[in-house]
Structure 1
Amino acid sequence: MSMSSKQKHLRCTMSPRDSKKLEEISSSLNQHYEDKVRPCIDLVDSLRSLGVEKDLSLPAIAVIGDQSSGKSSVLEALSGVALPRGTGIVTRCPLVLKLKRVEAGVAWSGILSYQGQLKILQKPEDVGHAVSNAQVALAGQGKGISHEMIALEIKSSNVPDLTLIDLPGIARVATGDQPVDIEKQIKDLIEKFIKRQETISLVVVPANIDIATTEALKMASKVDPHGQRTLGILTKPDLVDKGAEETVVSTVNNQVIPLKKGYMMVKCRGQQDINANLSLAKALQNERDFFEQHPHFRPLLEEEKATVPLLAQRLTKELVEHIGRSLPHLKNQIEKKLDGTAMKLKQLGEGVPQEENDKKNFLIEKINAFNQVLADVMRAEEDIKNSDTRVFTKIRDEFGKWKAQLDKKTNTFEENLRDEVEEYTRIRRGKELPGFINYRTFENIVRKHVEELEEPALKLLRDITDIVHSSLNDIANPNFEAYPNLLRAAKEPIEDLREQEYEKAKERVRAQFKMERMVYSQDGLYSWKLEAVKMKPETARPFLTKVISADVREMAQHLRAYFSITSDRLANQVPLIVQYHVLHQYIAQLQTAMLAIIGEKDAVKLIQEDSDLARRRVLARERLERLRRARQVLSKFVHSAS
């Protein structure tokens, strides 16, 4: 038994005094419910009226259905007004239907708005004509559609607190003067709304057809495969063939194509009812009589799965709960969009001043700001976003890889040392007795291994040059994005100096390896290192335990001592050369080149703005203001709710 049925039963068995008390309690509960419902819906309506949907998705219920599914009739029954009717595509623009319930006795009122235009509606009969005119203004006289939205706000004591978005009915084939791709156009428009996680899809389907064949339900299933955000509405139950009623009941009971939110059934005015001037109020009474008297569908009414009034209650509940769940994400999205827009506006700047002197100062400020960022990069102190890494941190990682490569080379060197020494002594050994070192052999082995490190060192130089070059471009782009001429002027030294400092560093790295072929170390340092090698247990170096001849053993110890010194030297010297040229000198020369731009003739022409920059700045400012107001509205709501 439904709540309303229970209340009726109680009233029949209560005294007048108790019955009156129940009415008071019921009225109090309804008022409490409305006090919670209306602010939630008003919040989203306010955000939508601010235009926030241009920036992020808002919680909504979108009404979709195939042509002639009864979608318009459902909306008429909910709103109490006659919307445009006819054959083919009737809804040609998204229609935001805002229903606001007022106290009994308050006069009906309506407001239609689109593209900044506002029309006050005096009576319900004015709605259909006003919506048709708005659609013509937005979508033209033909049968095309438009993505521009029309907002219709209705205040009445006979409507629920609810906001719906009515979308065009799905056309299968273009007819008459419709565009040949009308089906695709409509589906693209519908999908734009229902693919959003913030949207509940209200799918309207005639009860007298196979629900699995409806295009609207297929579209909803595509973007919501588990039916989490989909509610099905079956219409035209009076047209169901005899014998098919149980299948329809099974559908409404979620046993055919299950949806998380399930199904409801309604019976609205048909064309014959409209021709007979059947009022909406009378139609609602006829609907209730139909379900109460129907042997198969009556249980649906008792389970609150049928009639327009129960649908209105269900939709209001669904919308309010959906808004409540969406608020934390909505708040985060607004903050994220605000930060992004503020950053974008900062990049676009305030605009170039008009006075010549002011223009010169403006140019100086821009270049000084850029040079300051470069200085911060050089000192490894630049500001970075959470997902970014400082330039020197990237360089340090590459230097670490270079040291690891040297260590690996040392290990490989030791592993192959026995064979190399034996080979050299077998082929090149002179008159010396065993245990004496052939210095030429020692030099040749050292030089061979040092030469193998030159190409990895040059690769290190190339990699770090690319890192710094890419980073400088990443700095220049946002700093000078608004001024293409200045950006081009900055890119020239970035490219030229890159090549210049790379070649200088390359020459010095090669010179370093030429010097390494000389084979040199301080006597004291070498003696200390050699002693350390000799003191190390041979078990720590398995290859030496297999060495038999004294000269091979002696040569191996000397080579290991010297290569350890060389490796330590290269581990520091190569990074110093690379860092000096492709970080410090590159940036210092670039700073000088940027300052030189200021003194050039007609330098102020470099800050001429991009042709559409002013438009982008205006749009960014509008978005920033829109989002700030949205944050205020949301904060006010959260504060009042708490």
Structure 2
Amino acid sequence: MEPGEFEGARHETAGQRPNILNEQYEEKVRPCIDLIDSLRSLGVEQDLALPAIAVIGDQSSGKSSVLEALSGVALPRGSGIVTRCPLELKMKKIQTEDEWYGKIKYKEVQREILQPSEVEKFIREAQDQIAGVGVGISQELISLEISSPDVPDLTLIDLPGIARVAVKGQPENIGEQIKNLIKKFITKQETINLVVVPCNVDIATTEALQMAQEVDLHGERTLGILTKPDLVDKGTEETVVRIIHNEVIDLAKGYRIVKCRGQKDITDRVSLTEALDKEKAFFEGHSHFGVLLKEGYASIPHLAEKLTLELVQHIEKSLPQLEDQIERKIAENDAALKKYGEGPPTDAADRKAFLTNKLTKFTQDIMNLSTGEDLRNGNLLSTLREEFRDWKKFLDCSGLKFNNRFETEEYETMYRGRELPGFVNYKTFEMLMQEQIEQLEEPAVKKLKEASDIVRRAFVELSQQSFTGYPNLLKIAKTKIEAIKQSQADTAESIVRTQFKMEKIVYTQDRRYTDNIQCVKVEEEKKENPHWQVYRRDTEATLRDLQWHLKSYYRITSQRLADQIPLVIRYQILQEGTLQLQREMIQLLQENDNEDHLLKEEFDIGTKRNNLVSRISRLKEAQKRVTSFN
């Protein structure tokens, strides 16, 4: 729908508001605006950026007068901040024979307004309820719906006037608060910014226009309205005309100029309908501004037409992006809802089944985690395998240090007893091996505890995922995991320490030992040991033989320990711990009347779930309405 389609469709009737838009266009206007109003009434604006027209202006710019002229009702007036909450003004044009109707909604309040004269009182009461009695402001929206034969089909959002200095009773940063509130609306790309500026000020210096330019650099979403043309200084009229013709500060949507009721008109009880007649007479009789009326740039009726055209076109342009927005938001909220699950049923039998399923799934997930069957919750075995590799590296490194430990002189002074040169004392060999094995015991226990902590953390993390929102169930699971971990770790430590006691009994199968020592001799003879070249042959031979025996037996022992410690961890900590946890969690089902306690949710989890369900429902309803409209 292009504005040009409807040029020449204007006609005016004295004594009532002119009906500018032709019937063909009016048939398209109302459904379009109704769609967005219905979406806003669903409450989806907190999730979606809906097309809107936001009205901003400095204090005393004539903003309220413009809205009064468009809506046909008196709005709150006075000095200082009058608009203290965003006001959504929904105007619906009805048949001439139908009666005026008004309705105001805010928070949980919804009230019908029987007379236009009551609107101002209801708005003030709403602002006092929301922002408190006084001069404070709030970001909470007040919705005012007006149905009348004398209003355009249009929805506007009126924002507080820009204040520079705090007055008595206002916080020092009131100006910053108002600017932040205004920016919240005008920054959205879906919002047309309606900037109201008096004719008798320098438009380039007005803060309202500057704020609009900050968020709309090229003026593509900004429409300027000049007010108070009767206060223009003599000789500056042509400057105003140039502004309206977009020759001073360029705005893609251009400008309009209007003359609304002033304070004297209000004092003289000039009605809004009479004010329209006076406005028309003013522009027709003005030597400079008359041409603006003929061109369609002046008067409230022409402004109403312009705003309606802009809003409808803006809505049509925004609908494809709106559909995409809705789809994304539904997906985001669905994902968030899945984290909370469906929640426990209210029926006793159903709650028992719900708890059974939850515990069964958890125990199955724990088993899959411990056996590596399901990697969705992390590869626990891979993490443990890294720990086992580190243990093997430690054994190998310790073996190298052990094998390179002896110098000939050290052996002579510390380890050679009554034996003649060339003999290896078995007691010395046994003692040295026992000393070395003893040094491995505490590192093995430490590795056991580290692995035990890794398993405990993995189990706790899985329980947190499984029992999100159920603090009692989660607490019991964590308590059991901790107790079982400690019990199994103690048992495993006892097994490991017993293993080291056995390792001090130097033993292996004869054939295995002879095969190993033969391999060691072959390996050592292939490489030159520089230490052996500087000592006497007899001592050298004895030390070499001892090292062969030590290295051969350490190789056997370290291989046993390299496998045995991981086996203890895998069996006692992982396998037995998992089975014990499964048994104890399933036993919870045997306790009578325990479901209510176990399935008690976090104090706000149900609220969050319900909010997400409601939000998804609203978004789906919005999706249906947008799809039907298209």
Fold shared, TM-score > 0.5 on shorter chain: yes
Q: Indicate how the Cα distance of structure 1 residues 7 and 171 shifts in structure 2: closer, same or farther if over 3 A, else same.
A: closer
User: 1:241-280 to 2 correspondence within 5 Å?
Assistant: 264=255, 266-269=257-260, 271-272=262-263, 274-275=265-266, 277=271, 278-280=274-276
Question: 2:345 matched to which residue of 1?
Answer: 350
Q: Indicate how the Cα distance of structure 1 residues 501 and 130 shifts in structure 2: closer, same or farther if over 3 A, else same.
A: same
Contact 1:92 1:135 in 2 (8 A): yes
User: 1:497-512 to 2 correspondence within 5 Å?
Assistant: 497-512=484-499
The separation in 1 between residues aligned to 2:159 and 2:508, in whole angstroms, is 83
Question: 2:13 matched to which residue of 1?
Answer: none
Structure 1 unpaired stretches of 5+: 9-25, 383-387
Deviations 1:76-108 (A, max 9, x none): 455455433332232233322234567x86857
* Aligned counterpart for 2:361 among listed residues 362, 373, 379: 373
The separation in 2 between residues aligned to 1:511 and 1:537, in whole angstroms, is 34
Q: Indicate how the Cα distance of structure 1 residues 590 and 59 shifts in structure 2: closer, same or farther if over 3 A, else same.
A: farther
The separation in 2 between residues aligned to 1:589 and 1:127, in whole angstroms, is 71
Contact 1:93 1:147 in 2 (8 A): yes
- Equivalent position amino acid for 2:381 in 1: R
User: 1:545-556 to 2 correspondence within 5 Å?
Assistant: 549=532
* Aligned counterpart for 1:332 among listed residues 296, 314, 328: 328
Question: 2:159 matched to which residue of 1?
Answer: 167
User: 1:205-244 to 2 correspondence within 5 Å?
Assistant: 208-209=201-202, 214=207, 221=214, 231=222, 233=224, 235-236=226-227, 238=229
Q: Indicate how the Cα distance of structure 1 residues 496 and 457 shifts in structure 2: closer, same or farther if over 3 A, else same.
A: closer
Q: How far is the alpha carbon of 1:631 from its aligned partner?
A: 0.4
User: 1:85-234 to 2 correspondence within 5 Å?
Assistant: 85-100=77-92, 107=98, 110-114=101-105, 115=107, 118-119=110-111, 127-136=119-128, 138-139=130-131, 142-155=134-147, 162-175=154-167, 186=178, 189-190=181-182, 193=185, 202=194, 204=196, 208-209=201-202, 214=207, 221=214, 231=222, 233=224
Contact 1:143 1:179 in 2 (8 A): no
Q: How far is the alpha carbon of 1:545 from its aligned partner?
A: 6.4
Q: How far is the alpha carbon of 1:634 from its aligned partner?
A: 0.7
Tell me whether 189-198 or 83-92 shows the greater mean CA deviation: 189-198
Contact 2:44 2:618 in 1 (8 A): no
* Aligned counterpart for 1:420 among listed residues 400, 405, 409: 405
Contact 2:241 2:289 in 1 (8 A): no
The separation in 1 between residues aligned to 2:504 and 2:205, in whole angstroms, is 81
* Aligned counterpart for 1:395 among listed residues 377, 380, 389: 380
* Aligned counterpart for 1:635 among listed residues 614, 620, 624: 624
Identity %: 30
Q: Indicate how the Cα distance of structure 1 residues 96 and 200 shifts in structure 2: closer, same or farther if over 3 A, else same.
A: same
The separation in 1 between residues aligned to 2:80 and 2:621, in whole angstroms, is 43
Question: 2:15 matched to which residue of 1?
Answer: none
User: 1:463-482 to 2 correspondence within 5 Å?
Assistant: 463-478=454-469, 480-481=470-471
Contact 2:261 2:275 in 1 (8 A): no
* Aligned counterpart for 2:449 among listed residues 458, 463, 469: 458
The separation in 2 between residues aligned to 1:418 and 1:248, in whole angstroms, is 101
Q: Indicate how the Cα distance of structure 1 residues 93 and 572 shifts in structure 2: closer, same or farther if over 3 A, else same.
A: farther
* Aligned counterpart for 1:68 among listed residues 60, 68, 71: 60
* Aligned counterpart for 1:50 among listed residues 42, 60, 76: 42
Q: Indicate how the Cα distance of structure 1 residues 228 and 283 shifts in structure 2: closer, same or farther if over 3 A, else same.
A: closer
Q: Indicate how the Cα distance of structure 1 residues 137 and 528 shifts in structure 2: closer, same or farther if over 3 A, else same.
A: same
SS at match of 1:350: coil
The separation in 1 between residues aligned to 2:158 and 2:354, in whole angstroms, is 50
The separation in 2 between residues aligned to 1:591 and 1:316, in whole angstroms, is 63
- Equivalent position amino acid for 1:83 in 2: L
Q: How far is the alpha carbon of 1:638 from its aligned partner?
A: 2.3
The separation in 2 between residues aligned to 1:291 and 1:401, in whole angstroms, is 91
Tell me whether 395-404 or 594-603 shows the greater mean CA deviation: 594-603
Contact 1:253 1:262 in 2 (8 A): no
Q: TM-score, normalised by structure 1?
A: 0.69
SS at match of 2:330: helix
- Equivalent position amino acid for 1:88 in 2: G
Tell me whether 69-78 or 231-240 shows the greater mean CA deviation: 231-240
Q: How far is the alpha carbon of 1:402 from its aligned partner?
A: 1.2
Q: How far is the alpha carbon of 1:49 from its aligned partner?
A: 1.5
SS at match of 1:169: coil
The separation in 1 between residues aligned to 2:512 and 2:243, in whole angstroms, is 92
Number of aligned pairs?
588
The separation in 1 between residues aligned to 2:338 and 2:36, in whole angstroms, is 23
* Aligned counterpart for 1:624 among listed residues 602, 608, 613: 613
SS at match of 2:79: coil
Q: Indicate how the Cα distance of structure 1 residues 342 and 159 shifts in structure 2: closer, same or farther if over 3 A, else same.
A: farther
